[in-house]
Amino acid sequence: MEIVGPHPPCSGGVHTIQILNMLEGFDLRKLGFGTPESVHLILECLKVAAADRRAATADPAFVDVPVAKLISKAYGDSRRSEIDPRRAGVFESRVLSNESQNTTHVTIADGEGNIVTSTQTINSLFGARIMIPGTGVIPNNYMLLFDPHPGNALSLAPGKRITSGITTLIGKKDGKALFALGLPGAHRIPAAAMQTVLNIVDHGMNLQEAVEAPRVFTQGQDVEVEQGFPEAVRARLAAMGHSVVPVAHVAGGMCAIGFGDDSEMTGAACWRADGTPLGLGGGLARKDTSFFTDPRGLAARAHQKS
């Protein structure tokens, strides 16, 4: 499977591939989805990636981001060797947040093979609280996510782009797109997107199952575990040394498209937000045609004005 994702300053693409390389050395399919053993391995890899992100993933115009090393099989092998399959660990970077929910995502594909998976954010409510005259555009206020201390990868500098967790992914095999996905959720986005790839590739879920399956998240401190996981799983993770915090949801609603044979496409959106799969076709409607929903909610009908 070939995974295509965004380049730095976005961190999601690089660290998704880094985590998948680390997990390649474990038989997740045999361990099974949602077992304490498989969730533990995902959490440990999330910790490693978080440490590397803080240390080295930033605007490549200002920082020499070691992309080739981070996504290499050799680096994945070396970091995997630090993971204890039975016990939670603490990890430092081997290379040398306070984000909000005001983010939207759309995944689009057409019959000609074009695919767009796009995430947009203004950070906190109304962003910078100003509007560019005549445009309706509100600038973001992402400057607060820079490191105020000099000399670090994420230190503030004139003209520097902030690192984003945006993780817009396309999965391909033998040159053919199999799925495209993305979601809002601030710094939890990469973890959620990566777990969805595992759900599709390793666990054989269909697209709707993959986007809705329970998720976990950590950056090295508390471990957020969605309440969709059984209490027995959460208890076992705690016994392995994880500081487990049950949460209603990790990141936001995912929007995904799956590509089958004969140009067939399947849309999926999960319960964590109000996303909706939608298929459009047939060209524009006739002049003066309007669309409305049946008041009983049974069907959408077209009405020709007289």
Residues forming the active site: 103
**C-alpha–C-alpha distance, residues 191 and 285, integer Å:** 41
The β-bridge partners of 4 are 170
The length of the chain in residues reads 306
CB atoms within 10 A of CB 46: 25
Distances, alpha carbon 222 to alpha carbons 38, 43, 46, 216, 252, in Å: 18, 10, 12, 11, 19
Q: Strands 176-182 and 255-259: what pairing? A: antiparallel
Q: Strands 223-226 and 103-109: what pairing? A: unpaired
CA–CA–CA angle 138, 141, 142 (5° rounding): 130
Give the pair of three-digit tokens for residue 269.
Answer: 């959106």
CA–CA–CA angle 45, 94, 219 (5° rounding): 40
Give the pair of three-digit tokens for residue 221.
Answer: 């401190």
Q: Strands 223-226 and 244-247: what pairing? A: parallel
Give yes or no for a contact between 139 and 132, defined as CB atoms under 8 angstroms apart.
Answer: yes
Give the pair of three-digit tokens for residue 92.
Answer: 């430092």
